[in-house]
Chain A
Amino acid sequence: MHPDLSVRIRNGIIVTSMGIFGIICTAFLGIFYAPGVDPMAWNSPEAQRIFYWHVPFAWSSFLAFCMLFVGALSWYRNRSEWGWRWVSTGSDLGLLFGAGVVTSGPIWGSVEWGVPWDWGDLRLNTFALLTGVALFLVLSRRSQPDGQETRDTLAAIGLFGFALVPITAVATTLYQKRHPGIVVVDGEGTGLDPVMRAVLMFGTLSFMVLFVGLSMLSDSVLRLEDTAEQAKRRLDEVN
């Protein structure tokens, strides 16, 4: 293996490990240290502690979709290999973090709202669609032969799918039905306890570190796939 690639993988493992350590600390702080919510105002006050991972998962998925968007633009502009690697990594991580959000959200909703899903809520449904786009991209990449046509098609879907990101992000501001509104920004009837905010911010930072580590490892896997393909081609030529 190329020495540069070994260094990339080693750095990826270090950053990922730091991120995993941070998110484990966040879970412990969220469950055992952060203050609880008013039991009179919430139906299931303990389940509210899900949000110390649920919210950073959602923000990380938005970051993944931004990565997918930038990669798709770069692929269209220059047919750059790094652009395609960003599309691949962005769709993988978009699915990973999106899946975490669309499973943990309904678990909380089932005890807080009494129903796991609301088909009339804009935030819920646009986010599910966004995760569906990521799932489609991941499955298509694995099932279709790799070539310029496949890459063009999937990058186009990634570009259009990104339009759902701003819609999902502002959905609770423009059209709030069931999903709670923005709590990080203080406003009338919103805002967070300082300790809860600190734990959430620590969690967000930890998830960002994990995101960077996983991106580095995913990028290394794609580079390894290229190297293996080239080595196989050389072997075929020799034979």
Chain B
Amino acid sequence: MSGTTELIMAYGIMSAIIVFYVNHLRSRIVFLSSKISEFSTSVEEE
């Protein structure tokens, strides 16, 4: 039992955790930027 499967599993899980967080930050930035633009446009129209 050399542990190759466990090696792949561990790197896979750690990569998934990082990818999840980076994607979370990306989606928050996109969402909040569009909200700010939307609010600013509405204020100008009013």
Contact = CB atoms under 8 A, between A and B. Distances in A.
Contacts of B4: 46-47
A204 to B, nearest CB: 15
A45 B35 CA distance: 51
A220 interface: yes
A189 to B, nearest CB: 23
Contacts of B28: 221, 224
A148 interface: no
Interface residues of B, number: 28
A30 to B, nearest CB: 9
A111 B1 contact: yes
A107 B9 contact: yes
Contact of A50 (B2, B7, B25): B7
Interface string B1-43: 1111011011101100110011001001100110111011011
A108 B29 contact: no
Interface stretch (A163-171, A172-180, A193-201, A226-234): A226-234
Chain A interface size range: 35 or more
A221 B14 contact: no
Contact of A238 (B2, B9, B43): B43
A96 B14 contact: no
Contacts of A47: 2-4, 6-7, 10
A96 B35 contact: no
A53 B14 contact: yes
A20 B14 CA distance: 12
Contacts of A220: 29
A27 interface: yes
A224 B33 contact: yes
Given A45-B2, A217-B25, A238-B46, A231 B36 contact: yes
Given A48-B3, A99-B17, 13 more contacts: A1-B36, A44-B1, A44-B3, A46-B3, A57-B14, A100-B17, A103-B17, A104-B14, A108-B6, A108-B10, A220-B29, A228-B36, A235-B39
